[in-house]
Structure 1
């Protein structure tokens, strides 16, 4: 049985979210939802996430899963808010605990912040099987961009997070704490071993020069043939050298610190302080 897949694009962060539904049972998963955030005003909003709520309710769907491909550093997750609106179990890769430990140290969160992934309902191990209604799915650990990156394989569809972009744009950066270009290359080769017609659904499209329309879907065959960073014939050492040199020229994402602090909590906002106000921190000279 083929999944029904609807994409949602967030213009502010060039991010894609998805609703993956089983037509038979009407059960679904929400992948990588975005919480609106106005950094200058310090305000969050739910317009982007509300589109998902409206779609789910309008199609008579029941949310079984909220799936995060990784701890995003470029947008805040709406998973916690959506869970409150629609239910479902919030899941991420089991290596999230390693990422939490790294950033809890950078943010000086102390022992009050548990670095064990307990903010999530399910921590997927590599190769673990699960279901979306009657659809069979599998969680694949594809680290490199971050240590906890996961790809969710649902039939002939794979939700790859930031591991790959459109062929004309290339691959994910690996210079965040715990990132590793060599691991990324090997993760990509694992994806390239999937059948040629496997559909790859991306978390971002930043528009390569010369292309004017955003795209969210490609295939294993197209990536293997034409990805500008890692097409067939590009060896591991050459890829690692290219990726490391390229990463050295990149700026940190504009929303990295707000995103990390919310997303490591499963999309929940920090607890209010004694004045009733929630705060996000920006550590100086730590990145």
Structure 2
């Protein structure tokens, strides 16, 4: 079962539903934000069908985030990530220290309206020389900080900008097309996150330009710890999505290129595929897409 946000064929109003066995049944929530305001037990009960099913192949999927829900991300949570950051940075000790520090690295990744989903483009900055996709398990938490689900995140980043100076991390991490989420949220009670296989492939001109794999078993911190640190000083009335860091880091000689296709798979959770564009202009449609879902279709062409 997956929680999805979608627009029916010929419709304009986003809906929230449950996708199962090729069908989608709407639920009583008008938005994912409303759903994430609920305690976990009430949320589970609220996923009962509230209308007729539709064929899952006939709808337009929207990112599973809306309202005041924010997407946050974690850094240096895998040993491979620490090694990659040390390799690229002129301030390597910063990353070595945070890996073992009591406080994890957390940062705001995206507001809801800037997030893209499966099939829509991610972007690399026009002023960046080395860019990478970062395949990550994302935790979905409700307003009380309870983990209610999981999805797939691509935390697109500029290695060259971050490597120049760690103080440039917001510029390396936050820009149009930097954050993609899979269409579905898998309920937490259906997923065992102890050892989930994570794989990623970058396809360029029909051939594999890069591929890698890791597992959530290699996470240096627990999912609960990351959520607790995020929620300790801050209110999230519509919940939050917290991407938990990457364990797949290409060599510095690799960089995403316009026209690449990034394919991510996380066992039990889902898949995410995005073509790559360069610069902000190809994603200008995001400005209108939150209020007019039909604009998303233009962005996929």
Q: Same fold (TM over 0.5)?
A: no
Q: Which structure is higher in strand share? A: 2
Q: How does the TM-score come out when normalised to structure 2?
A: 0.25
Q: Which of structures 1 and 2 has the larger relative contact order (alpha carbons within 8 angstroms, sep 6+)?
A: 2
Q: How does the TM-score come out when normalised to structure 1?
A: 0.26
